[in-house]
Amino acid sequence: MALVGNLKDIKLANLVQLNCMEHNTAKLTIEYNGKYGFVYFEGGQVVHAEFDPFIGEEAFFRLLRLYTGNFKVESGIRAPAKTISASWNNLLLEGLHQLDDQDQKSGVNFKNLFERLFTIKGVKRIAVVDTEGHVKAKSHPEIPDTWPIAALVTYEAERIGQSMHLKSPQFVSVNMGNQSWIIMPQKKGDFLLLEVGKKTRLDLIMPLIKKAVG
Amino acid sequence: MPQTILKEIQNIDSVEMVAICSFKGEIGFKVGELLPEADLKAIAIHLVRAFAALKVVGKPPIHMEIYWQNHFLHARFADGFVIITICNTLEVMSLLRITLNVALANLLQNKTFLKWLKKHSADALKQLRRGSFDEHEINLISQFT
């Protein structure tokens, strides 16, 4: 029987560790935002990975960056090719090292914050954007590096507050039919932008978000 | 009368003001005196700019809500106009959204309203090109237009 779940609940690094320590031969499929990624284990080693358009170690490292996505582990399926020769523990260490580097480049470690926010049902994607629209950290690689629209919407909300003689808003919500944005101004002028599902109820989700942000 | 429809929204607990503004920023109808007309007009223009920016990237919003400590602004966008509601408690949010949907349907059948809308209709995108902008707005708008 296949093991199924979501990366929100169990991290990919833990799944890899589990399969390697158990000396499994298996195929791990990850479905994320309509894209599929695969990791193959043989005799407890990671031997192949694919994540469109990447293959081998690069695909594995890209998959490690995912915070969310449905996964399935099917035992006994062999890899169609061997593109990874590094031992599983070295591979995992290198991948986690790259993740740390990425966080350090962005100046702040948002990894823990993203992980806390992704435990909230309805949260799909997260970005930290500065007032100029530059994305300082993002949960998903396809989020653009600049997001001037998000910065402008936040700025217009602040200007509205000024017209009402109020300080910066606590948060802004924008409903676009099939998705919603929740924008929360942070310290130093940055703001947190969360993309949530259309059925997400703000009154239920906001206390959880506030708690996660701290 | 549009005012009667707006009164129904104002009857919701804690609603302080309701106004209908065109995408030009003109105030068509309003109930409540919370803000001077100049401030309300400025608010409408900022809302329409946010709407237009999102429309440019293919994400036109249905509504936008802004929350402060003790105030809350709801903007319901429709074709050519926006209904702005200001109240001071979040508890009425669900009721407000439902009431606004009904109000919107009633407005679109109201002759006085439709006559006003026809006279003041404008493309929201014009608010990204015309009017007074500060340097920061110009910089952000120039990145996607």
Residue A25 has a pLDDT of 94
Reported as a single tens digit per residue, the pLDDT across B78-92 is: 999 999 999 998 888
- The residue-averaged pLDDT of B28-36 equals 90
Looking at every residue in chain B, the average pLDDT score rounds to 91
Least CB–CB distance from B68: residue in A156, A169, A176: A169
DSSP string, B37-75: HHHHHHHHHHHHHHHHHHHHTT---SEEEEE-SS-EEEE
Q: Are residues A123 and A117 in contact, defined by beta-carbon separation less than 8 angstroms?
A: yes
Is-contact A36 A29, C-beta < 8 A?
Answer: yes
Here the ipTM equals 0.93
- CATH of region B2-137, choose from 3.30.450.30, 3.40.190.10, 3.40.50.2300, 2.130.10.10: 3.30.450.30
**pLDDT tens, A171-213?**
999 999 888 999 998 877 789 999 998 888 888 888 888 888 8
**Is B57 close to A149, i.e. CB distance below 8 A?**
yes
Output the pLDDT for position A109.
Answer: 65
Q: What digits encode the pLDDT tens for the residues A93-148?
A: 888 888 777 766 654 567 778 888 888 888 999 999 998 899 988 888 788 888 88
Q: What is the mean pLDDT of residues A78-91?
A: 92
Query: How many other C-beta atoms are found inside a 10 Å radius of the C-beta of residue A67?
Result: 19
| Full set of structural domains in chain A with CATH | 3-105 (no CATH), 111-213 (3.30.450.30)
Q: What does the pLDDT look like over A146-172, one tens digit per residue?
A: 888 999 999 999 999 999 999 889 999
Give how far A151 is from chain B: nearest CA, Å.
7
**Inter-residue contact B20 to B85 (CB < 8 Å):** no
pLDDT mean over B1-27: 92
Among B67, B85, B137, the strongest candidate for a mutation testing the A interface, having the largest count of A CBs within 10 A, is: B67
Probe site for chain A from B43, B55, B66, B94 (most A CB atoms < 10 A): B66
Chain CA centroid to CA A67, Å: 4
Q: Map out the domains of chain B as residue ranges.
A: 2-137
A44-68 pLDDT, tens digit each: 999 999 998 899 999 999 998 887 8
Residues on chain B touching A174 (C-beta within 8 angstroms):
50, 54, 61, 63-65
**Are B49 and A146 inside 8 Å of each other by CB?**
no
- What pLDDT does residue A152 have? 93
Q: Nearest residue on chain A to B39, judged by CA atoms?
A: A163
Residues of A in contact with B135 (CB under 8 A): none
Chain-centroid distance of CA A145 in Å reads 15
| Nearest-CA distance B124 → chain A (Å) | 14
Determine the pLDDT at residue A108: 56
Dump the DSSP string for B97-137: HHHHHHHHHHHTT-HHHHHHHHHH---GGGGGTSS---HHH
In the structure encoding, which two tokens stand for residue A121, read together? 């049902």
- Nearest residue on chain B to A182, judged by CA atoms? B65
